[in-house]
Amino acid sequence: MCSNVVVGLPSPPNLNGTLSSPTPTSNTKDGDHLVMNHTGVGGYKWRLVIAYDGTRYAGWQYQSSPPTIQCFVEKVLMQATKLERKDLSLVGASRTDKGVHAWGQVAHFVTPFNYDSIDSIHAALNGLLPSDIRVREISPAVPEFHARFSAKSKIYHYKIYNDTFMDPFQRHYAYHSAHKLNPAAMKEAAKYFIGKHDFSAFANASQKERVRDPVKNIFRFDVIEMGALLQLEVEGSGFLYRQVRNMVSLLLQIGREALPPYIVPMILATRDRRELAKYAMFAPPQGLSLVTVKYNEEHLRLPSGCSTTSFGRHYTIGSCKLPLY
């Protein structure tokens, strides 16, 4: 029997992403983490890896005024599974903002039934989704896995096109800076972000986040030169609302040599968003992409007796038999 079965599905997430508390039962075995919801119905959990061009969407998070990425993913899941939105309990790892892209957004959903093969539902989802949203992977997940709360780190990239005019092919995926930037100064400044800090000075207020921990751990912050393109790569344990774009905005000012690199720890120490506003405006969304969400291996293991991960199907054309003359 597939061990990704959960006795009782997680309650639909509130705006703040909370879930009902898990309730163990006497049937716990094979390491399954049993949870109960208001219906008490059993089910199976599935993990999605999703890529999207966020240009025409109002972010990931479901809201009453679409279009959002979550709205479209839930719509096609409802069509493919014949389930209601509240039963699917779709949760994303990151609430990407309006205009922000993703290559490695991770989400999970639940169904009251199992799939012997998930290649078919994978193909169905991509066949129903608009062309700027794609499910890259789908796999069974252990009941303990949670797309948001199990994440141990996230990697974001921010692209800056630094030339006198903007490459028209990059306009939706990079920020254009006509000011000549100093990458060495930006690299020096980025090092000050690394480590565990209170990032209150780099967070915008969000009505959706009722409770937040302003202390985050930044594992790396690289500035990579790729011709006219500068790619800023940051990995951290988590990020506050618009934190990445606010860090980038300060690095842009430092790259323009309007500010020295050592201003970063000075602003961090204030823990005051108004202090950052004195020096930098926030960077626009189109340069930002969620690239990867990392998890511990135990959360990514495939449950025993379940389908393997689907990466999509390649189609082939059978050999054509030509008449001999």
Q: Is residue 97 among the annotated active site residues?
A: yes
- Interatomic CA distance for residues 56 and 33, integer angstroms: 38
Phi/psi at 92 (nearest 5 deg)? Answer: -100, 155
Give the β-pairing of 288-295 and 151-162.
antiparallel
Of the CA atoms within 13 Å of residue 150, those in its CB half-sphere come to 21
Q: Which of 32, 97, 119, 132 is catalytic?
A: 97
Sequence-ordered strand ranges (E) for the chain: 5-6, 43-52, 91-92, 101-111, 133-141, 151-162, 175-177, 195-198, 215-226, 229-236, 288-295
* Angle value at C-alpha 89, between 88 and 94, nearest 5 degrees: 125
Give the β-pairing of 288-295 and 101-111.
parallel
Q: Is residue 264 within a helix (H) or strand (E), and if so which, with residue range?
A: helix 263-270
Q: With contact defined as beta carbons under 8 Å apart, do 86 and 77 qualify? A: no
Torsion of CA 3, 8, 13, 19, to 10 degrees: -90
> Strand pairing partners for 233?
157, 222
- Show which residues are catalytic: 97
